[in-house]
Amino acid sequence: MSIAENLKAIKKEIPENITLVAVSKTKPVSDIMEAYNIGQRVFGENKVQEMTEKWEEMPKDIQWHMIGHLQRNKVKYMAAFVALIHGVDSLKLLKEIDKQGKKNNRAIPCLLQVHIAEEDTKFGFDAHELKELIDNPEFKKLDNVSIEGLMGMATFTDNQDQIRREFKNLNGLFQDLKNSLPHLSVLSMGMSGDYTIAIEEGSTMVRIGSSIFGKRNYN
């Protein structure tokens, strides 16, 4: 199937109020344009340089989401245009985003990444660290970041019960956090292999790559 056909099929399965981030990392501009031409406007990348190059080349009504692990020294290259940063996992990084937001006269939208996977290779805050962060006076001073919600990745496994448990956990944290930060509205969870479960468990934003663009070639 073509990219356009894949995208149409997935859109049919996703309720309209859920945001679809088309994950275009490693894929050429021509592939992204195929999705753009049938109306897709939100794309996700995991490398700042690649995202910046694509932003320069492509139509300016695209919303670029940074979904990868982010180094502090890279924030400045995308601060002017990034629509949402999904993988924020430290106060240090938040402070840098705040600084770059100030320089660009904007509040940069961010999601706090939460570690939900039972495997211990993924980045992110745990429940305790999340609470410490939002109670930290330094966190409250960040005027040029706008915290929109949480992001998480389930364990890479065939065990559907485990995936569901991890997403349930994340939604539980999200609902708790809303008691302190009632404006939160984004729960980014679900990828090609698990987005159906993620939606059942309360996701508001799914990040789908290979099911739209096909397998990635990292060579």
Ligand X SMILES: *Cc1c(COP(=O)(O)O)cnc(C)c1O
Nearest-approach distance from CB 213 to ligand X, in angstroms? 8
3-state secondary structure of 93: helix
Query: Which span sits near ligand X by CB under 6 A: 96-104, 136-144, 174-182, 204-212?
Result: 204-212
112 sits near ligand X (criterion: CB under 6 A): no
187 binds ligand X (CB under 6 A): no
Closest distance to ligand X from the beta carbon of 92 (Å)? 20
Coil/strand/helix, residue 172: helix
Q: Which two tokens stand for residue 216?
A: 């990635």
Rounded to a whole number of angstroms, the minimum distance from the CB of residue 21 to ligand X is 8
Task: Please report how close the Cβ of residue 151 comes to ligand X at its closest, in angstroms.
Answer: 8
Half-sphere exposure of 45 (CA within 13 A, CB side): 20
Distance separating alpha carbons of residues 18 and 189, to the nearest angstrom: 11
Query: Cβ(167)–Cβ(131) under 8 Å?
Result: no
Rg of the chain over all Cα atoms, to the nearest angstrom: 17
Does 191 sit near ligand X (CB under 6 A)? yes
Strand ranges inside 3-157, DSSP E: 19-23, 42-45, 63-66, 84-88, 108-114, 145-152
Q: Which of residues 30-89 bind ligand X (CB under 6 A)?
A: 46, 67-68
Interface positions, 128-167, toward ligand X (CB under 6 A): 153
124 in contact with ligand X (CB under 6 A): no
CA distance 50 to 58: 12
In this structure, what token pair is assigned to residue 204?
A: 């508001």
Contact between 197 and ligand X by CB under 6 A: the answer reads no
**By rule CB under 6 A, what count of residues binds ligand X?**
14
Q: What is the nearest approach in angstroms of ligand X to the Cβ of residue 215?
A: 8
Distance (Å, rounded) from C-alpha 143 to C-alpha 22?
Answer: 29
**Which of 50, 192, 202, 214 touches ligand X by CB under 6 A?**
192
Q: Which residue is nearest to ligand X (CB)?
A: 209
Residues that bind ligand X (CB under 6 A): 23, 25, 46, 67-68, 153, 191-193, 207-211
